[in-house]
Amino acid sequence: MGLITKIFGTYSDRELKQIYPIVDKIEALEPEYQAMTDAQLTAKTTEFKERLAKGETLDDIKEALGYVDYFFPNYDEACLMTEETELEKIADRFLDCGIQHVVIKTGKKGCYIKSQDGSVLEVPAMKGITAIDTIGAGDNFASGFITAILEGKSLKECAEFANVTASISVQSIGATTGVQKREQVDERMKEYYAQQS
């Protein structure tokens, strides 16, 4: 299980049977992405934005989005894709494509979530974080969110765990150097909950 086990701990046999196919796909891609420099990762993001700028629209991928349970765009990407600027309108555009839960990363503010059932959550980011490098923050956010889903946490708890995971990531240079083990996230979660009370 490699890096995923190193960072997020171990799972029961039942859980592993559910996530092995997903983990195998992620780990198959892992060497490619770990070998990428920050400049290459930035280039991939730029390529995505250029495709949108050249006229690729949400309608071009609408059918595929109907199979997505959780979608994690950042605010800027979401605005580009939907041509909207208000969080609720952005989320509604994605929900109209059939996505079950739209999780918009809003940087220092945290994240905004809207689901097919109409529920809305705004989950604050960790306070007092000085970002050194935001490369990989979104990936760390998504991995934290998915880990919490696999652990059966509520949508709000998933977002809190994701925000905290990303807060650790941005305090180191590079996409994969910040979050090294699960205990880091668990410790920071205690600080996060103390901030919220």
Q: With bands split at pLDDT 50, 70 and 90, how would you rate the model's confidence at 2?
A: very low
Question: When comparing pLDDT for 20 and 39, which is higher?
Answer: 39
| Residue numbers of the domain that contains 114 | 57-124
pTM: predicted TM-score of the whole model, two decimal places:
0.74
Domain termination residue (choose one: 95, 124, 153) = 124
Q: With bands split at pLDDT 50, 70 and 90, how would you rate the model's confidence at 125?
A: very high
Mean pLDDT of 86-97: 97
The CATH number covering residue 105 comes to: 3.40.1620.20
Domain termination residue (choose one: 124, 153, 177) = 124
pLDDT for 161: 97
Answer yes or no: is 140 within a domain: yes
> Does the structure show a pLDDT above 90 at 185?
yes
DSSP letters of the chain? Answer: -HHHHHHH----HHHHHHHHHHHHHHHHHHHHHHSS-HHHHHHHHHHHHHHHHTT--HHHHHHHHTT-SEE--BHHHHHHHHS--SHHHHHHHHHTTT-SEEEEE-GGGEEEEEETTS-EEEEEPPSS---S--TTHHHHHHHHHHHHHHTT--HHHHHHHHHHHHHHHTTSSSSSSS---HHHHHHHHHHHHHHH-
Answer yes or no: is 50 within a domain: no
Answer yes or no: is 49 within a domain: no
Answer yes or no: is 166 within a domain: yes
pLDDT for 50: 72
